[in-house]
Structures are given as structure tokens and as C-alpha cells.
């Protein structure tokens, strides 16, 4: 059994080396050397494709993990990573340990956006008058962290038909009277459906709707998984099993199939009266997708800001501060009062 922890060091000097999203290379801050994946593999500082195939999800490969004593979160990283806070709750109560069930997916989209991109995006969202002060603090902004989130990607195909009850409504006037004509149709749409890489969040720590909002990812950027891409980032350990993930992906496909079939009906309104499309999960694989994120607790509730580390798309639920709203309202009132006073005073001269 391979019990080696993930290790990424500079082939030139042996110092810690990290993946640079801008260069799409591994960049050593100590000696300035830069390496491609092929060069890292040649120096045996990145795993080979054959080695990755042998360490699929739920293997016995031991890797480093950080567990938060506050919220119980567990994330994996390379052996050079030092966790100073929890990426989920912000707690500094972090323990480092080994775990036996590591995550070794088959595909990964490496980070394209760097931390500075995420920080600037976050500042644009929070630097507003009504945003609570906690979200504007440099301490919280610096906690923005790059995390690879596990997803199940499903290739789903379907065959069958859908029956729709459709209506066309026409109105016209005849003198002073309005006439309405309603025509009802029964429409059947048959077809073959193919959906590639339908995603389902494989981590229970992330809100599914939030993760859906980060889509789309550019699947043209998918490459073979290699643990070297984790250098400088964290990676969430998946805890949602494949079967459960498929159920969610299946529902997404059902909804998309209905929308697609409905577009073929050709009437003003339509509703599904019968759906006999049979779906099959032809292929499923675990992939890692890049996300910049920060969680901030405000009044006992966790608020998440996230940025797609591939495309730069931003999602988040930043609240409105009560104190800031009151102060802003008072300020506007004073300004309005001052303007009215000036108009009355100088207008009477």
C-alpha cells in the first residue's frame, strides 16, 4: 500500500513549489525556476498518469488532512501546506493528520484565476455603504482561499416520449364585445437525449444551489488529474456517494429534457401530462473544480462568497448591516435637511 503523502518540491532546489494559475506552470519562489507538468513528472515531483489511475476515489493512499475542531470540516492538501484557519468557519483550531481515504479523481480543471482576482472581486461586492463592517475587514478578505471542490460528472442518455396538454388562446373584438377562442391540443414529443458531464456537488459542506450558481465551468480546460495541481491549494474530501449524486443529476436532466421537449411543442402554453423518457447513467467520474471562497459568520449565520476559479463568475450572499443602514439613513436625512435649509435660507435673500 502506498503510504506516501502528497509532495511537491522544486526539482532544482528542493524548496516548496506551487502551481501558478497565470503561467499554468509550477513556480518556485525560492530559486525562480518554472516547470511544466511534463518537467515535474520527469523529475518525479508529479504523479504519472499510470499512478493516478491506481489511486481512484476511496483508495488507501494516505494524504495530509486538516480537521477543524470547531466545525469538523476536513480538507486535504500537499504535505507542504500549512493551515492557519478553517476555510469554512474561519476558526484557527486546526489539527493536521493523515487520512486513509484520499480523493484522487480522474479529471481536474486547474485554477486559472489567482487570489488577487478573487480579492478584487470580493472588494467590489462588499465595499458598499450598507455592507457590514465584518465583510470589509482586511483579516476576513485575506482568508479568501483556493479550494478544489469535488463533483460527480454524469454522462446521461435518455429515450422515450413526452405528452403535453397545450393551448392557444386568441381574443378579438366585435363591436363592443370581446371574443375569446381557446384551442386545446394533445402533443407528443419523441426523442433521444444526451447530456454530457452533468454536475452534482460531491461535498455536503457546500450548498447545492450555490455550487450550481458557479456554473458553467469550461470543460475544455479539463485535464487528467494530477496531485501536483493541489500545490498551494486545498482540496475538499468528497462525502456524497455517487448514487446520491446521480439522483440530483438525474432531476436536473429531467427538468432540462422537459424544457427541451416543450420548446418543440409550438403552442402558447403547454404542460406535461405524461413523461415516459427512460434515463440511463452511462458514465460517472469524480472531477475537481477550482473555487475561490471565504465564509464569514455574521449574527450567527454563515455567509459564503465564492468565485469560479476557472471563469471568474462570482456568487455570494452578502447581507445588509442594520447599523450601517441606520447610519446611512441618518446621513442622508442630515444631507437632505441641510439642502432644504440652504434652499430656504439663500432663496429668501
Task: Confirm if 283 and 195 have CB atoms less than 8 A apart.
Answer: no
SS3 labels along 11-47: CCCCCECEEECCCCEEECCCCCCEECHHHHHHCCCCC
Q: Pick the closest to residue 248 from 156, 314, 315 (CA basis).
A: 156
Q: Give me the residue label for grid cell 462588499.
A: 126
Contact 147, 75 (CB under 8 A): yes
Burial of 32 (0-12, 13-18, 19+ CB in 10 A): exposed
pLDDT at 342: 65
Domain ranges (residues) in the chain: 18-155+194-254+281-318, 322-349
Q: State the Cα–Cα distance between residues 281 and 278, nearest whole angstrom.
A: 10
pLDDT tens-digit readout, 67-97: 777 777 777 766 556 556 677 776 666 666 6
Residue 70's Cα: distance from chain center in Å? 23
Least reliable range by pLDDT among 77-81, 104-108, 178-182, 332-336: 77-81
State the pLDDT at residue 142.
81
For residue 126, give Cα distances in angstroms to 87, 130, 291.
Answer: 19, 9, 18
* Residues in CB range of 198: below 8 A, 6 or more apart: 153, 154, 155, 156, 249, 252, 253
User: Model confidence over 144-171: pLDDT tens digits?
Assistant: 889 889 999 999 999 999 999 999 999 9
Q: What are phi and psi of 224, to 5 degrees?
A: -60, 135
Residue 172 has a pLDDT of: 93
Looking at residues 327-340, what average pLDDT do you find? Answer: 63
pLDDT for 48 beyond 80: no
Biggest CA–CA distance in the chain, Å, is 92
* Res. 327 pLDDT band, cuts 50 70 90: low
User: What pTM, to 2 d.p., does this model score?
Assistant: 0.78
Closest CA to 160 of 132, 121, 200, 188: 188
- List pLDDT tens digits, range 279-302: 999 999 899 999 999 888 777 787
Q: Write the pLDDT tens digit of every residue in 200-232.
A: 999 887 888 888 999 999 999 999 988 788 888
Residues 10/46, Cβ–Cβ less than 8 Å: no
Average pLDDT, integer, range 36-44: 86
- The per-residue DSSP string of 187-245 comes to EEEEEEEEEEEEEEE--TTS-HHHHHHTPPP-GGG-EE--GGGGTTSEEEPP-S-HHHH
Amino acid at each position: 500500500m502506498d503510504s506516501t503523502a502528497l509532495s511537491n518540491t522544486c526539482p532544482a532546489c528542493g524548496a516548496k513549489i506551487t502551481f501558478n494559475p497565470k503561467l499554468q506552470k509550477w513556480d518556485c519562489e525560492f530559486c525562480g525556476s518554472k516547470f511544466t507538468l511534463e518537467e515535474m513528472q520527469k523529475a518525479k515531483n508529479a504523479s504519472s498518469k499510470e499512478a493516478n489511475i491506481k489511486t481512484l476515489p476511496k483508495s488507501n493512499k494516505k494524504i495530509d488532512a486538516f480537521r477543524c475542531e470547531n466545525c469538523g470540516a476536513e480538507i486535504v492538501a500537499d504535505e507542504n501546506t500549512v493551515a492557519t484557519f478553517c476555510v469554512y468557519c474561519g476558526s484557527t483550531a486546526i489539527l493536521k493528520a493523515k487520512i486513509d481515504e484520499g480523493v484522487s479523481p480522474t479529471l481536474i480543471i486547474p485554477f486559472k484565476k489567482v487570489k488577487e482576482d478573487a480579492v478584487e472581486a470580493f472588494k467590489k461586492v462588499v465595499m458598499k455603504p450598507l455592507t457590514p463592517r465584518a465583510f470589509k475587514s482586511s483579516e476576513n478578505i485575506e482568508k479568501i482561499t483556493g479550494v478544489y471542490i469535488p463533483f460527480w460528472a454524469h454522462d446521461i442518455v435518455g429515450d422515450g416520449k413526452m405528452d403535453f396538454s397545450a393551448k392557444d388562446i386568441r381574443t378579438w373584438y366585435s363591436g363592443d364585445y370581446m371574443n375569446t377562442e381557446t384551442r386545446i391540443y394533445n402533443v407528443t414529443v419523441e426523442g433521444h437525449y444526451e447530456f454530457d458531464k452533468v454536475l452534482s456537488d460531491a461535498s455536503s459542506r457546500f450548498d447545492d444551489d450555490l455550487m450550481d450558481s458557479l456554473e458553467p465551468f469550461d470543460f475544455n480546460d479539463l485535464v487528467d488529474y494530477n496531485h501536483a495541481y493541489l500545490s498551494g491549494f486545498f482540496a475538499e474530501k468528497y462525502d456524497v456517494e455517487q448514487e446520491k449524486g446521480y439522483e440530483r443529476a438525474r432531476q436536473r436532466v429531467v427538468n432540462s429534457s422537459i424544457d427541451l421537449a416543450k420548446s418543440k411543442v409550438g403552442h402558447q402554453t403547454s404542460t406535461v401530462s405524461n413523461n415516459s423518457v427512460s434515463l440511463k447513467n452511462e458514465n460517472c467520474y469524480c472531477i475537481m473544480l477550482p473555487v475561490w471562497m471565504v465564509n464569514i459568520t455574521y449574527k450567527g449565520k454563515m455567509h459564503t462568497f465564492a468565485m469560479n476559479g476557472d471563469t471568474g463568475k462570482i456568487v455570494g450572499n452578502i447581507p445588509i448591516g442594520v447599523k450601517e443602514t441606520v447610519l446611512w439613513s441618518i446621513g442622508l436625512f442630515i444631507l437632505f435637511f441641510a439642502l432644504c435649509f440652504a434652499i430656504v435660507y439663500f432663496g429668501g435673500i
